[in-house]
Amino acid sequence: MAEETNPSFVLRSIKDLAFEDRPVPQLQDPWDVRLQVAQTGICGSDVHYWQRGRIGDFVLKSPIVLGHESSGTVVEIGSAVTNLRIGDRVAIEPGIPCRHCEYCRSGSYNLCPNDRFAATPPHDGTLSKYFLTQADFCYRLADHMSMEEGAVVEPVAVACQITKVGDVRANQKIVVFGCGPIGLLCQAVSKAYGAGKVAGVDISVARTEFARTFGADGVFVPPARPDEFGEEEWNEHVARVIKEQFELGDGADVVLEATGAQACIQTGVHLTKKGGTYVQAGMGRENVVFPITAACVRALTIRGSIRYSAGCYATAVDLIASGKVDVKRLITDRFRFEKAEQAFELVKQGKESVIKVVIEGYKET
């Protein structure tokens, strides 16, 4: 009988994808668990590494397995593991921090300088038959949750972190820039937390119409900038229009920016009320023109958000299990494992009708 292998979807170099049979990962630590991956969602960062080979300081220098939004079934556990049993269905938190640095000790393990994050160079991701991780970064799914829902826990956890950074609370007025997966989930999580008014902003009419049925109380599509307006002047004007349309008074309590587009960043700062909070989560160009004077004179709290910190994953599982965030509606396209490259090509096209693409785990043929 042939020795079992670990079929994997590998980014060998920029724009070079291939399937490889790799060794089955072996437990190295008493707290390790081996999972058989069930479903994996495609994130924009996966596509970014595929097309450009880097995000900020993370540069592709050797082949990596792609994928980090996954669910799976426990097939092997280490000798110290007590929270999981073989056969448990789990959502996989894809980063393993060092647990010892000042950031980890404070609960902000998303800032750990030694974090081993799946599908971030040089670490392998989850688009394999098997994936090795640690028990405390696996979260059991409720019996009624599907494996697809388990895979979408990851972007919900991102939204939980963004709203956590923004200190989103009941009765607040929230504006979210972007109606892609993360923006939509920020809107839905804000509503689940009891926000009084949530508005979604996007240049796509189709995306905003979906947002209106998902988590937003209202939506706004910015008009095209007339030739007689400069960009910064126009973005300040658009902020005033949004305030009027949604009756925000002096502005939103919290603005969550999930696009990275300079126009949205400028508009968002002008849209935040005095003393309010502006959270930057979207990543576009590395440097933009930022209205720093407006931020100063309005005494804004400006914060960045990355990944997730203590409590976010468990909260995301609970929000999905309770039905407060219906992630099933976000899944628009499904692919078998052997069609993974076609799935990535679809995401790269950026069609308005495509929200979340998932890839089924490897199955013997």
Q: What is the pLDDT of residues 131-157, one digit of tens each?
A: 999 999 999 999 999 999 999 999 999
**Residue 251 is assigned to a structural domain of this protein:** yes
Residue partners of 267: CB distance under 8 A and separation at least 6: 177, 201, 222, 235, 236, 238, 239, 242
* Domains in the chain, number: 2
**Domain co-membership, 254 together with 136:** no
Question: What local confidence, expressed as pLDDT, does residue 93 receive?
Answer: 98
Question: What local confidence, expressed as pLDDT, does residue 263 receive?
Answer: 98
DSSP 206-254: HHHHHHHHHT-SEEE-PPPPPTTS-HHHHHHHHHHHHHHHTT-TT-EEE
Any idea how long the chain is? 365
pTM greater than 0.85: yes
The token duo for 47 is 């596509």
Q: What torsion, rounded to 10 degrees, do the Cα atoms 27, 149, 317, 117 define?
A: 40
Last residue of a domain, one of 256, 274, 304: 304
What is the separation, in whole angstroms, between the first and last Cα of the chain?
16
The parent domain of residue 294 ranges over 167-304
Q: Express each pLDDT in 172-197 by its tens digit.
A: 999 999 999 999 999 999 999 999 99
Last residue of a domain, one of 304, 326, 345: 304
**Residue 331 is assigned to a structural domain of this protein:** yes
Place of tokens 């994996």: 40
Last residue of a domain, one of 267, 288, 304: 304
The CATH number of whichever domain residue 204 belongs to comes to 3.40.50.720
**Under-50 pLDDT residues of the chain:** none
**Domain co-membership, 143 together with 270:** no
**Domain co-membership, 116 together with 87:** yes
Strand partners, 9: 19
**Domain co-membership, 115 together with 215:** no
